[in-house]
Amino acid sequence: ELKVEQNPLFLSMQEGKNYTIYCNYSTTSDRLYWYRQDPGKSLESLFVLLSNGAVKQEGRLMASLDTKARLSTLHITAAVHDLSATYFCAASTSTSYGKLTFGQGTILTVHP
Amino acid sequence: SAVISQKPSRDICQRGTSLTIQCQVDSQVTMMFWYRQQPGQSLTLIATANQGSEATYESGFVIDKFPISRPNLTFSTLTVSNMSPEDSSIYLCSGENNYGYTFGSGTRLTVV
């Protein structure tokens, strides 16, 4: 059974600082996803990582995937208040028929 | 990418009643998924809905409580039956597109 764990679960950052959210998964996964959720809103897709060594960047966010370590990271560079949200990673496997297993979520708060 | 319209966005229901949530996709998707997000928690998959066949339910979820319809490739409904306060959650539908998975805006259900 695929399990996905994120850490930290809560992250309080100052504006301008850098930090990384970690996402570990328990079995071989063929795809790794990152989503953002604002309070009371649905999920916004950030990144889809398909292969070992994949790195994707959008603005101040960069996601990477290490399939050998079963680890994905979401790196935040020079945080700004607008990045405050909950971030989820999710994984799927070739045998899960598209079902996503989500991590617990990381609540990110960026302070001035 | 596919856009999913979900309704209602929120509802307050009496215990013992049922609520049907609808999701309309602007393009055809093979599989649709229904998730539950309890307050402050991550997303848990309820079931996978394929057109023309019975939905596949995850452990802990049963058809009598969460009947699902999928009459065509752009539409699905989830009914929450015989509701109790423990069913108070956000319910989200999801469909696969070229960029991963897109989510409906969510239905915030409160059972009183």
The answer to whether the CB of B70 falls within 8 A of the CB of B51 is yes
Cβ burial A19-49 (10 Å sphere, 16+ → b, else e): bebebbbeeebebbbbbbbeeeebbebbbbb
pLDDT in tens, B61-94: 999 999 999 999 999 999 999 999 999 999 999 9
Q: Which of B78, B89, B65, B87 is nearest to B10 (CA)?
A: B89
Instruction: Give me the phi and psi of B87, to 5 degrees please.
Output: -85, -5
Residue A30 has a pLDDT of: 74
End-to-end CA distance of chain A: 41
Residue B52 binned pLDDT confidence (cut-offs 50, 70, 90)? confident
Residue B66 has a pLDDT of: 98
Find chain B residues with C-beta within 8 A of A104's C-beta.
41-42
Which residues pair with residue B80 across a beta bridge?
B19
Residue of A nearest to B105 (CA): A42
Residue B7 has a pLDDT of: 96
State the smallest CA–CA distance between residue B43 and chain A in angstroms: 6
Residue to test with chain B: of A1, A29, A100, A107, most B Cβ within 10 A: A100
CB within 8 Å: A98 and B31: yes
Residue B5 binned pLDDT confidence (cut-offs 50, 70, 90)? very high
CB within 8 Å: A45 and B99: yes
For residue B51, give every residue at least 6 positions away whose Cβ sits within 8 Å of its Cβ, in sequence order, or none: B30, B70, B71, B72, B73
pLDDT at residue B100 tops 80: no
pLDDT in tens, A28-44: 877 899 999 998 888 99
Residue B48 to residue A7: CA distance in whole angstroms = 28
Residue A97 has a pLDDT of: 63
Query: Radius of gyration of chain B from Cα atoms?
Result: 13
Place of tokens 């570990």: A24
- CA dihedral (B43, B46, B50, B52) in degrees, to 10, reads -160
Residue B5 to residue B25: CA distance in whole angstroms = 6
pLDDT at residue B14 tops 90: yes
Q: Bigger pLDDT: B30 or A94?
A: B30
Residue to test with chain B: of A33, A99, A104, most B Cβ within 10 A: A99
Residue of B nearest to A4 (CA): B42
Residue B76 has a pLDDT of: 96
pLDDT at residue B49 tops 80: yes
